[in-house]
Amino acid sequence: VSRDGGDPPPGAAATAAAEVEAAHRGYYAAWEAGNLRAVADAWLEAEDVCCVFPGAEPHLGSDDVRRLVTEGVELTPGIQFLFEQVDVTVRGDVARLSCVENVVTADTFSLSDVTDLPATRMGVTSTFVRTPDGWRLWLHTVGPVITHLDLED
Amino acid sequence: VSRDGGDPPPGAAATAAAEVEAAHRGYYAAWEAGNLRAVADAWLEAEDVCCVFPGAEPHLGSDDVRRLVTEGVELTPGIQFLFEQVDVTVRGDVARLSCVENVVTADTFSLSDVTDLPATRMGVTSTFVRTPDGWRLWLHTVGPVITHLDLED
């Protein structure tokens, strides 16, 4: 967990970062549980929300994003997520979380069914906005990590 | 250009959004020109910056991100970028830009040389932070758009 750019004392920043990580984990737990309402309600109710799923163009606005994530939950029964490299930073009322998401799917769905992308390892970058009801997703981008790709070679 | 959640009058929000789009386009123009210094300086000087390139895990921190983008510029001489669906929203001192990035490369480099990913169409999500010197990148995520992928089918 990194901190930067904030006025609050370290304790407040650490608390905010912990809240953001809890919001992130709660979102994915709701997805695993198939809780459509909780998944949708993890997002800001706003026209400027943005969601990018692996291989897809950006989706914008509450209606489109909620439809997208609802369909995503319905398409992935039995999915489970394991996270690595979780990093959270808070700047005022906006937070950024990045991590690597490892996906374990039931036999019913694999991203590799519809594309050549590997299905099990994703890079995730999210931003959250602080609201009176807690941290809500503002931006959420998921893309495949190509494990054999090393541009530095 | 969408707006949301801000106190400033519409004129100020529109100005801020235009500034953010200019920062985005300036970043890519510097990349096309091979201007390593300008590409690096488009980023916040902070440990909480984050950059995700197609197929790669998140990179964190000024040193790592500046090294990554410098190598990126050096690996892609002659590259050109064309943008579609540019959308900017500003919340206080943080802005989010999303777009689709069409990549035109010289013969010297193609992402398809090292992976099965198509090389020409990317989804981009960035966040910028307002500083006394203008808007700087805080988070920048680029991932492939798979044109034959339609999860809704």
Q: Which helix (H) or strand (E) holds B86?
A: strand B80-91
Per-residue confidence (pLDDT) for residue B114, from 0 to 100? 52
Pairing, β B50-52 against β B134-144: parallel
Per-residue confidence (pLDDT) for residue B93, from 0 to 100? 96
Q: Which of A71, A122, A124, A139 should be substituted to probe chain B, the one whose Cβ sees the most B Cβ atoms within 10 Å? A: A139
CA angle, A107 then A108 then A113, to 5°: 90
Closest CA to B99 of B25, B12, B19, B6: B25
Compute CA A27 distance to the chain's CA centroid, rounded to the nearest angstrom: 8
pLDDT digits (tens, 9 = 90+) for A40-52: 999 999 999 999 9
Closest CA to B122 of A55, A16, A70, A123: A55
Answer yes or no: are the C-beta atoms of B57 and A123 closer than 8 Å: yes
The B121-131 sheet, strands edge to edge: B59-60, B50-52, B134-144, B121-131, B94-104, B80-91
Q: What is the mean pLDDT of each run of 10 residues along chain A (153 residues)?
A: 54 92 98 97 97 94 97 91 96 97 70 57 96 97 74 44
Compute CA B46 distance to the chain's CA centroid, rounded to the nearest angstrom: 17
Share of chain B above pLDDT 90, in %: 67
Chain A environment of B55 (Cβ under 8 Å): 143-146, 149
From B116's Cα to the closest Cα of chain A, the distance in A is 7
DSSP string, A55-116: B---EESHHHHHHHHHHHHHH-TT-EEEEEEEEEEEETTEEEEEEEEEEE--TT--GGGTSS
Q: Which residue of B has its CA nearest to A89?
A: B48
- Measured in residues, chain A has a length of 153
- Tokens standing for B135? 């808007």
CA distance A101 to A78: 16
CA distance A69 to A51: 9
From A38's Cα to the closest Cα of chain B, the distance in A is 21
Q: Which residues contact B42 (CB under 8 A, 6 or more apart)?
A: B23, B26, B27, B30, B136, B137
Q: Which of A13-17, A119-123, B25-29, B44-48 has the lowest average pLDDT?
A: A119-123
From A146's Cα to the closest Cα of chain B, the distance in A is 5
- Tokens standing for A40? 């949708």
Q: Which residue has the tokens 């590997």?
A: A118
CA angle, A108 then A54 then A37, to 5°: 65
